[in-house]
Structure 1
Amino acid sequence: MPDFDTDTYERFNLYISPEKFFFEPRDSIGNLVSNTYLEIDRFTNQFTLKDATYSPIPFQQVEISSIYGIFGIYPTNQGNLLVTIKKAQIIGFLNGTEIYKVVEIDVVPFNKRTPGTEEYNNEKQLIDMIQYVISNGSFYYSNKYDLTRSMQWLANCNMPEFKSLPMIDRADSRFTWNRYMASPFIEKPELKKYISPIMQGFIGIRHCTLNYHAFKLILISRRSIHRAGVRFFKRGVDSRGNPANYVETEQILEYDPYGDPNKKQMTSFLQMRGSIPLFWSQKPNLKWAPTPAVNPTDDQLEGYLTHMQTQYNLYKGKHLLINLVNQKGREKKVGGELERIIRQANLNFVRYVPFDFHKECHGLDWSRLSILKDDIIQDIVSGSYFTTVGGEQYSVQKVFFRTNCMDCLDRTNVVQSVIALESLYLQLVGHKIIDNVGMVRVNEEFSSIFKHIWADNGDECSRQYAGTGALKADFTRVGKRTVNGAINDGINAISRYFRNNFCDGYKQDSIDLFLGNAFPSNEIIPKIVSESTLNVSSFNGAAIIGFIFSLAMTILCILISENLSATLFWFIFSLCLFFFIYFNGEEFVNKPKLKVD
């Protein structure tokens, strides 16, 4: 079989002149790897490959820097923006390949602007929004390994015509977060070695030793670009069946007992999380937990069927839908509708598993998760996992677990870690690393590594969707409820409330701009930024200021005044303003301006 060179360049020397950008390919230690370089004209947007032998890079009046890669080109009506990976760090190796995490990007406008002008200010605000998305989410890439695809998918598509494709073409578009910015490179085949697919999510690589066997435990969570966004503003599915907060998580065990690539053993186990696959919403309105809304005029069956058929087309096999929402109260509205639709659809590849997490684990009794585990253990065993030895496929995963709660964060991460551990037991026995699962349970060092990597994964998925680390992370991290865990949950819950009500509109707009779901204009960018914290139109602003002032006056009257009538006046006035703001909460929430869902 031919060996296709589809790797992307590891580094570049970037030369910036007033008229052009020049990208000179380098390896990881800075050596020149090609006599051909890329030239981009800043005025005509023309991309040209040139041979340095006949057309050397001009070194007069240029800024020179070393960069890790090209994130992409962001298009605007006023001139494009060059987005580069200024800093990246190697977080580990997967199957012998370096995996990088983006640490810092740089955004360089094609056109020079005069500071203080409207165009300059709008462009700066747009750059800030691009930087904001990068700073609020973990981005990863590799120059040789396709991080957007699972091991099982890559093995099933091992045909020469697929392997010969450039990495950006092979990548799963669902998980390629720079695909919109990479468009100029995708359109020109000769440029595709200059850009790598970049995913958002989480990657953890841990070295483990168990029963005198050394191996690596790897966790990859891929966050979808479809219906991407933030808690409360993105719920349910869209018309194409794409759910909000959809994440594919792959747990990989890499075992090389002989130091021989032809005998290396690798196993993989996939799980998914995603918003309840119906048409529903839960808009923030200053209430602690807004009531979910299910529109009776929407074709819920169609939304569910579209999503599940897509899942089946992608993964085949049997699918377990594990629903962790409360079976009473406000959550029952959506959970009950899901159960009704599942029964109506009656898909033969779907098994529905309802588990009221809060009821069953009341009082933080995590031991009752065994009820769920006992219910699905046969599916974990019979569903198996993907296995290769020396690159040859030995087994495939036949059952896939899709878990959801309301946010698909805290409860979901706890349950996914429980399922992952049961599968890992089977993989360790299959590799002959252990003889029985008891050897894992008594090994505190390995148990700690497993719990921490899953807790780190939960925290990162939560930060990207809700703005804080995960709740209930102490169970995932140490296996029990702790005082520090309870305190952190309280802090995170309050932080979520503030972010979801007063900051997430700006974040949602930034994500939509970043992914190309909305196009920036000179009219909308200033409005987004000016209203990025609170929607303070004159009347709303007066109400908020009035409430703060009257509350302060009430406290002062209590502390330093004996005038009961003044105290009552300010107290009643502040109470009236409080209820006015509370019952008109949606008017005070920071909402997205670009796309109304």
Structure 2
Amino acid sequence: MSKPVWKQADPRFVWNKNLLEELIENKLDGFIVPLLQGSFQTGHLKLKDSPATIALISRRCTRRLGTRMWRRGANLEGDAANFIETEQLLEFEGFRSSFLQIRGSIPLLWEQIVDLSYKPRLNIIDHEETPKVVERHFHDLLQRYGHVVAVDLTNKQGDEGLLSAAYAAEIQKLSSVRYVSFDFHHCCGGSNFDNIQLLYDQIAEDFEKNGYFLIDTEEKIILEQRGVIRSNCIDCLDRTNVTQSYLAGKSLDSQLQRLGALSSNECISMFTEDFEIFKIMWMEQGDEISLEYSGTHALKRDLVRYGKQTMTGLVKDGMSAISRYFLNNFQDGIRQDAADLISGRYSVNRDSPSPFQNNGFDSLSYLPVASALLIGGLTVTTITINQGRNTNTILSSALCAGVIAGVMALVKSNGRQICSRPRLCGLL
């Protein structure tokens, strides 16, 4: 007799496990339905009159779940934020294959606390457990997936550069993991997306050795995937999605060629309609993962679909960036609390004080007043300037400008308190 569905599910990806505990204790297997968060896409390829079905499944891990700015890096157990397992499935004439990739935040102890600035400073937490955190993270990956190639897509300048250097220093202590640094923005910025081939050239040997999983029409295993590519940028969203879609295309070509759907000198990009289906699937998958973590669609969507950035895409990226700023600063604290509550990371205790009690100065409650003062000050300043340049209007304008500057300084100095913060659980 086969196991119940919930026992077959990988517990790392079961999002409602906490809510199912009473059903599990009472052995109500027929009512226990495991839920995952991520993305699911399917498409049908025509190829050369030899139809194939392709599916894309992404599963978000629950071990360090949360929102973009409140769940960064790893916890002390080595669980990385925004860790996602993405599996591309192919069915062709009874043969079935799969290609697996993973992504996850840089597995160090680091944070990026929102403070009203567009790009808050990254802070690497100096902790004696840091080497063990990295070791725990990759030990788990090696046990599950085999050989691991860690592709780091972050910038090599500024705060990202410091974080990348710290990551490289720690991971290079692990002889069983190969680390590859590739500054995506530097190499593929502007209209240079084709330079992603430079990354592939660096990992081609490992990529081919890792292979993919394949079974024949009688469900006999022909090939097994022997390793995995772990990709990351800062958010593990935009640059990571572009890179993973490129590698998935390479694997799909290899699978279709082996199965005889394509000749050895053909690739999926030669079939315009089929390639469009493939690109749209990856673009929509990137959007869904981004919505779950950052609250907006993915950036750099055009690179996935068109292989270049378009003006329309730049405008959409700008709008998404503004939306991310607002959500990260003013809504994600509440979203993080909801995730911690539903996952069981925070348990309500009747005897404990409410984490939402107002203890002392609460800057958030003064934000509407500050906003009103800013708007009022700007309005009065504009009116007085338009009325002429006598001594009274100049003094009034100067006074209003001083008030505006003072309010802005007050808001900036209390930026971290004004922003929406989670109240239920700590960062680690």
Equivalent AA in structure 1 for residue 426 of structure 2: V
1:220 corresponds, among 39, 49, 57, to 57
Q: Is contact 1:168–1:186 with CA below 8 Å preserved after alignment?
A: no
Q: Is contact 1:185–1:192 with CA below 8 Å preserved after alignment?
A: yes
Q: Does 1:480 align with 2:327?
A: no
Equivalent AA in structure 2 for residue 213 of structure 1: S
Equivalent AA in structure 2 for residue 483 of structure 1: M
3-state DSSP of counterpart to 1:182? helix
More helix by share: 2
3-state DSSP of counterpart to 1:564? helix
1:198 corresponds, among 35, 46, 56, to 35
3-state DSSP of counterpart to 2:7? helix
The match for 1:319 is 148
Which structure has the bigger radius of gyration? Answer: 1
The match for 1:284 is 114
Query: Structure 1 residue 302: deviation in Å?
Result: 0.5
The match for 1:500 is 328
Equivalent AA in structure 1 for residue 332 of structure 2: D
More strand by share: 1
Q: Is contact 1:425–1:437 with CA below 8 Å preserved after alignment?
A: no
The match for 2:227 is 399
Root-mean-square deviation over aligned CA pairs: 2.0
Q: Structure 2, unaligned stretches of length 5 or more?
A: none
Equivalent AA in structure 2 for residue 433 of structure 1: A
Equivalent AA in structure 2 for residue 273 of structure 1: R
Q: Structure 1, unaligned stretches of length 5 or more?
A: 5-163, 258-263
The match for 1:592 is 422
- Size of the alignment, in residue pairs? 420
1:179 corresponds, among 2, 9, 17, to 17
The match for 2:412 is 582
Q: Is contact 1:459–1:470 with CA below 8 Å preserved after alignment?
A: yes
**Which structure has the higher relative contact order (CA within 8 Å, separation 6+)?**
2
1:339 corresponds, among 150, 168, 186, to 168
TM-score (norm 1): 0.67
Q: Is contact 1:267–1:386 with CA below 8 Å preserved after alignment?
A: yes
1:453-487 superposed Cα distances (whole Å, 9 cap, x missing partner): 00101111111110100000111122221111001
The match for 2:402 is 572
Equivalent AA in structure 2 for residue 293 of structure 1: N
Q: Is contact 2:252–2:268 with CA below 8 Å preserved after alignment?
A: no
The match for 2:7 is 169
Query: Structure 1 residue 378: deviation in Å?
Result: 2.0
Equivalent AA in structure 1 for residue 261 of structure 2: I
Matches within 5 A, 1:297-446: 297-316=127-146, 318-343=147-172, 345-348=173-176, 350-389=177-216, 390-446=218-274
Query: Structure 1 residue 439: deviation in Å?
Result: 4.5
Taking a change above 3 Å as real, the CA distance of residues 527 and 299 of structure 1, as seen in their structure-2 partners, is closer
The match for 1:188 is 26
The match for 1:272 is 102
Query: Structure 1 residue 240: deviation in Å?
Result: 1.2
Q: Is contact 2:16–2:34 with CA below 8 Å preserved after alignment?
A: yes
Q: Does 1:248 align with 2:85?
A: yes
3-state DSSP of counterpart to 1:367? helix
Equivalent AA in structure 1 for residue 222 of structure 2: Y
Q: How far, CA to CA, are the matches of 1:437 and 1:217 in structure 2?
A: 21
Query: Structure 1 residue 362: deviation in Å?
Result: 2.9
284-293 or 578-587: which moved more? 578-587
3-state DSSP of counterpart to 2:19? coil
Taking a change above 3 Å as real, the CA distance of residues 421 and 549 of structure 1, as seen in their structure-2 partners, is same
3-state DSSP of counterpart to 1:252? strand
Taking a change above 3 Å as real, the CA distance of residues 482 and 437 of structure 1, as seen in their structure-2 partners, is farther
Taking a change above 3 Å as real, the CA distance of residues 572 and 420 of structure 1, as seen in their structure-2 partners, is same
3-state DSSP of counterpart to 2:54? strand
Query: Structure 1 residue 169: deviation in Å?
Result: 1.4
Q: How far, CA to CA, are the matches of 2:247 and 2:202 in structure 1?
A: 11
3-state DSSP of counterpart to 2:113? coil
Query: Structure 1 residue 549: deviation in Å?
Result: 2.6
Query: Structure 1 residue 275: deviation in Å?
Result: 0.5
Q: Is contact 1:279–1:298 with CA below 8 Å preserved after alignment?
A: no
Q: How far, CA to CA, are the matches of 2:26 and 2:19 in structure 1?
A: 14
Q: How far, CA to CA, are the matches of 1:209 and 1:561 in structure 2?
A: 73
Structure 1: which 4+ aligned runs deviate by more than 6 Å?
522-526
Query: Structure 1 residue 375: deviation in Å?
Result: 1.2
Taking a change above 3 Å as real, the CA distance of residues 398 and 571 of structure 1, as seen in their structure-2 partners, is same
Q: How far, CA to CA, are the matches of 2:162 and 2:181 in structure 1?
A: 14
Q: Is contact 1:169–1:186 with CA below 8 Å preserved after alignment?
A: no
Query: Structure 1 residue 545: deviation in Å?
Result: 3.2
Q: How far, CA to CA, are the matches of 1:223 and 1:333 in structure 2?
A: 27
Query: Structure 1 residue 295: deviation in Å?
Result: 1.9
Query: Structure 1 residue 575: deviation in Å?
Result: 2.1
Q: Does 1:554 align with 2:381?
A: yes
